[in-house]
C-alpha cells in the first residue's frame, strides 16, 4: 500500500498578509476593544452606588451656635459652630464607603468657605423617660459604631459638627437670613461620587448645645479656620 507523506510545515505556503488585511485586523481589534469597554462601562453604571443625602428633620436637628470669642495674634475672633443631622442613602447595586462629609457656607462678603467635620462625642439629651443618644458620622461611641459604609439599598444617618472662626470686618461672618444660616452639605465616597443637599441652620443657645455635647465650646477651637485678606 502506497503511503502519502505529509508536507513539512515549512513547505506549506501561507498567503502573504496585504496592507489592506493588516488594516482590517487593526480595525477589528479596535472595534472589539470599544465594545468590551462599553460593556464594562454599562455594567459599572448599572451597578455603581447612587448616593442621596438630606437633612433629617430639617426644622428640628439643624443648628448653628454662637460660641465664646477666641483670640488669634492678639485679635479677638468670632466663632460659630454648626451641628447638623443628616441621612445618606444608596439606591445603587454596590456597597460604598463615605470618604468625607464637608460643609460649604458663604460669608456676608460673598466668599465660599469649606469646613471639615470635627470629632465630637455622641450627642445626648435627657427626657422624663431616660436619655436619648444620636450617632455621629465616622465616630465610634458608646452607643453607635459611627458607620460610614452605605449598603446597596440601605442608608446611614448621624450628626456632623463644624467650626467656623473669623476676625476683622463683619463681612467675614456667615451670611444670615432671618436669623438662619444656609449652607450646603457635601458627601464624597471613596470612588469620588458626590451628593449634596442644602441645610438651613437655626440658632441654638450655647447652654442648650452644651446639654447635648458638654464641651462643644472647646472642640476644635485651637484650629483657626479663616483669615481676612491682608491687603
Bridging pattern class, strands 63-72 and 194-203: parallel
List the one residue out of 212, 209, 187 whose CA is nearest residue 132. 212
pLDDT at 67: 96
Spans of the chain below 50 pLDDT: 43, 46-47, 224-231
- pTM attached to this predicted model: 0.77
pLDDT at 11: 55
Instruction: Please give the biggest Cα pair distance in the chain.
Output: 113
Radius of gyration (C-alpha) of the chain in whole angstroms: 30
DSSP notation for the chain? ----PPPPGGGS--PPPPHHHHHHHHHHHHHHHHHHHHHHHHHHHHHS--EEEEESTTTTS-EEEEEEEEEETTEEEEEEEEEEEEEEEE-SSS-EEEEEEEEEEEBTTS-EEEEE-B--PPPEEEETTEEEE--BTTB--SS-----EE-TT-EEEEEEEEEEEE-SSGGGSBPEETTEEEEEEEEEETT--EEEEEEEEEE--HHHHHHHSTTGGGTTTTS--------
CA distance 186 to 88: 10
pLDDT at 37: 64
CA distance 179 to 80: 13
Beta bridge partners of 82: 64, 162
pLDDT at 58: 92
Length of the chain: 231
Amino acid at each position: 500500500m502506497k503511503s502519502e507523506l505529509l508536507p513539512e510545515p515549512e513547505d506549506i505556503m501561507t498567503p502573504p498578509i496585504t496592507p489592506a488585511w493588516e488594516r482590517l485586523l487593526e480595525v477589528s481589534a479596535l472595534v472589539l476593544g470599544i465594545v468590551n469597554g462599553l460593556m464594562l462601562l454599562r455594567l459599572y453604571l448599572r451597578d455603581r452606588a447612587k448616593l442621596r443625602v438630606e437633612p433629617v428633620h430639617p426644622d428640628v436637628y439643624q443648628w448653628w451656635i454662637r460660641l465664646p470669642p477666641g483670640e488669634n495674634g492678639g485679635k479677638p475672633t468670632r466663632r460659630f459652630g454648626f451641628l447638623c443631622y443628616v441621612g445618606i442613602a444608596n439606591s445603587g447595586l454596590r456597597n460604598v464607603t463615605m470618604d468625607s462629609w464637608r460643609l460649604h457656607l458663604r460669608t456676608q462678603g460673598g466668599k465660599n468657605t469649606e469646613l471639615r467635620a470635627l470629632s465630637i462625642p455622641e450627642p445626648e439629651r435627657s427626657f422624663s423617660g431616660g436619655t436619648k443618644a444620636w450617632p455621629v458620622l465616622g465616630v465610634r461611641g458608646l452607643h453607635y459604631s459611627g458607620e460610614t459604609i452605605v449598603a446597596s439599598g440601605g442608608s446611614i444617618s448621624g450628626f456632623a459638627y463644624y467650626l467656623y472662626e473669623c476676625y476683622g470686618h463683619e463681612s467675614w461672618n456667615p451670611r444670615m437670613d432671618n436669623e438662619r444660616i444656609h449652607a450646603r452639605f457635601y458627601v464624597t465616597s471613596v470612588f469620588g461620587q458626590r451628593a449634596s443637599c442644602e441645610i438651613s441652620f437655626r440658632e441654638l443657645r450655647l447652654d442648650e448645645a452644651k446639654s447635648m455635647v458638654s464641651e462643644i465650646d472647646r472642640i476644635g477651637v485651637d484650629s483657626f479656620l479663616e483669615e481676612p485678606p491682608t491687603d
